[in-house]
Amino acid sequence: MKKHFLALTAFWLLLFIAPAGATTQWEVAGASFENTVWVNTGEIRPVTLPNGTPVPHIYRITTCVSETLDTSKSQTTLVDFQSGRFYIQGAPKGGKWEKNTAGSSGIFDAAHIYTHKAEIDQRTPYQLTKKEASFGKRNPDFQVKKNGWKGSFDNKQIGKGWIQTRSIQITTLENEPFPTIRFLAEMERKYQGKKMNLLLLLEINPNKPQQYRVLHVWGRSGREAWLPISNDAKAVSPLSLFSETAYLGTTAYEYLLTHAEEIKRRGEFTPGINEKEPSDWLKL
């Protein structure tokens, strides 16, 4: 399992050589086992096509993954938050746009860009090469279905996961840089040879320390009705990188980043005041 998570670390968070004139501002984005993930937020840049045309929702990000920042090497990745694909620059065999259906864990990246989008989009953009610009139509690898559900991960070791895009809401926290996000999610797992599904109302706090709460949980086997499962809605848990919860939270924050106006029209939720009843969530 540890080997699997470390492979995913390299898979999603391998990142970059700093562009000329960039500002060095390393921030901790999370931890995976003994390794810490740093993102140079001062180097996050928008991109353009070779002819200078801006490309929305693709950013060039600088990341280090190591036990200490002093011993780590920075790498560069182009991340497409619209399609869910990425392009590792400087890869030994040459870079290419790759799918990331196994799950991505970039909550900090998406949260930081969402919160500082106006500032970041004003920075000097990175101009894509012809090869880097060969990303095609940029259709999401996980499409949003007509009923609002969108895939988050499809991983042989941990199962499958989805988020309900119509359920996404945020709330602004006082003295915190990033908003908390709530959404409905579903996970499919195998238990004693049978498929078991869990329906979760999750609350993700991407601030430091990164945490999450499971507000409601339901379960079912096959096509049976969803049945509530006893759960402590006040329990707060640390958000571990490359976990199912981190994948689901990343997908929700990516959707927030690429559909910001849609989410804003729903209004922010206020804990304890304008919260939906459990039965309202099941209607979604």
In angstroms, the first-to-last Cα distance of the chain is: 34
Structure confidence at residue 20 (pLDDT): 37
Secondary structure, 3-state, 124-159: CCEECCCCCCCCCCCCCCCCECCCCEEEEEEECCCE
Structure confidence at residue 14 (pLDDT): 36
Residue 56, by phi and psi: left (phi above 0), alpha (psi -120 to 50) or beta? beta
The Cα–Cα gap between 205 and 182 comes to: 9
Two tokens at 183? 């959404």
Secondary structure, 3-state, 180-199: EEEEEEEEEEEECCEEEEEE
Q: Encode the chain (284 residues) as per-residue pLDDT tens digits.
A: 444 433 333 333 333 333 334 578 999 888 767 778 889 999 999 999 999 999 999 999 998 887 777 756 788 999 999 999 999 998 777 789 998 877 778 899 999 999 999 999 999 999 999 999 999 999 998 999 999 999 999 988 888 999 999 999 998 888 899 999 999 999 998 777 778 899 999 999 999 889 999 999 999 877 788 899 989 989 999 998 888 999 999 999 999 999 999 999 988 877 766 677 767 777 76
Closest C-alpha to 160, from 141, 185, 183, 193? 185
Domain ranges for the chain, please list them: 2-127, 149-283
Structure confidence at residue 7 (pLDDT): 39
Inter-helix orientation angle 107-115/244-258, to 10°: 20
The Cα–Cα gap between 89 and 93 comes to: 10
CB 207 within 8 A of CB 121: no
Structure confidence at residue 53 (pLDDT): 97
- Strand 26-32 to 35-40 pairing: antiparallel
